[in-house]
Structure 1
């Protein structure tokens, strides 16, 4: 199935499953910490997330903002990196996951390797780089399996939804929530 940059329920659930979501403002793990909300969204995105401090949103609202951000920023950057090549739904979801996490789709070596037909080298590069000291090894392996083999990890729509601990404003222990209906409503609203 070709997708050419369209956000589907599967694409949104795959990325949300890799990222997790927080319904209210929290401090991320950056140094220094940055106020963040939803699926890793900060004020730098153009959506002011400070409004969610002590004011949780719904999963549907988180997905509306996420879909908007993917449509206006991350999706077009992924498509530009692949130079007009039509991507399958799985390839778009995998490349989008990589770019949303790293911001590096335009500078990574695995994309030009893939475009040059060096598929094995592209896969190896994706699986072995941008690992954040090993913390992201499983994510890169999942992205490679999705991009090169079409193996989805989050088809069940179950995503970690993290509460915010106060007064630290750090994420707490997550619960698993099926977000597919919320994603479908968010997509229908746009």
Structure 2
């Protein structure tokens, strides 16, 4: 099974999430930073990044660390014994990063049992709130059809104050490929310092 976070896998997940370079309050009032990272990820977000914007490189460095520390092991364990392509691994990792539900997802059980049609259908059971449906379709199409949806760019949002909400009007698209290539090329080197 492939369980390597490649540049394409990271780009795919980041394209669904976006980057916010300083701490903001998400839609349910949780302090969030970078690529959807919260304190519960094992990395302290608040108060560390409130009014303290970081470089895109630092945002992606911690994102990659969180993936390796928390999300990759759960996906690898869930699919243990199954050969996954890069596309399947990327889709499963994106699904788990968004839902936290890879271990209990019916679609995984159906896929492992060889019932591909049922797996494809039940993948879409994870479609709440309705705004998540486009992402879920892209993950499904990546897992079952090998169709990547990211072009290597992501949206970077500034934070509006005093509400600490993302400023949707101030967004810019950024090519994150070179930063990811550099970071992932160093993955055999020393681990990221205490994050």
TM-score scaled by length of structure 1: 0.93
Structure 2 CA distance for aligned equivalents of residues 10 and 133 of structure 1 = 26
**1:10 — aligned with what?**
8
Q: CA deviation at 1:20?
A: 0.9
Q: How well do the aligned residues superpose, as a CA RMSD in angstroms?
A: 1.1
Structure 2 CA distance for aligned equivalents of residues 133 and 179 of structure 1 = 28
Q: CA deviation at 1:53?
A: 1.0
Q: Deviations over 1:46-84 (max 9, x none)?
A: 211121111111111111111111111101101111123
1:41-190 equivalences under 5 Å are 41-50=37-46, 51-127=48-124, 129-154=125-150, 156-173=151-168, 174-190=171-187
Q: Say how many residue pairs are matched.
A: 184
What SS class does the counterpart of residue 143 from structure 2 fall into?
A: helix
13, 19, 25: which one pairs with 1:21? 19
What SS class does the counterpart of residue 49 from structure 1 fall into?
A: coil
Consecutive unaligned residues of structure 1, counting only runs of 5 or more, are: none
Consecutive unaligned residues of structure 2, counting only runs of 5 or more, are: 188-195
18, 31, 34: which one pairs with 1:35? 31
Of 145-154 and 175-184, deviating more is 175-184
Paired residues of 1:64 and 1:187 also in contact (CA < 8 A): no
Paired residues of 1:78 and 1:95 also in contact (CA < 8 A): yes
TM-score scaled by length of structure 2: 0.91
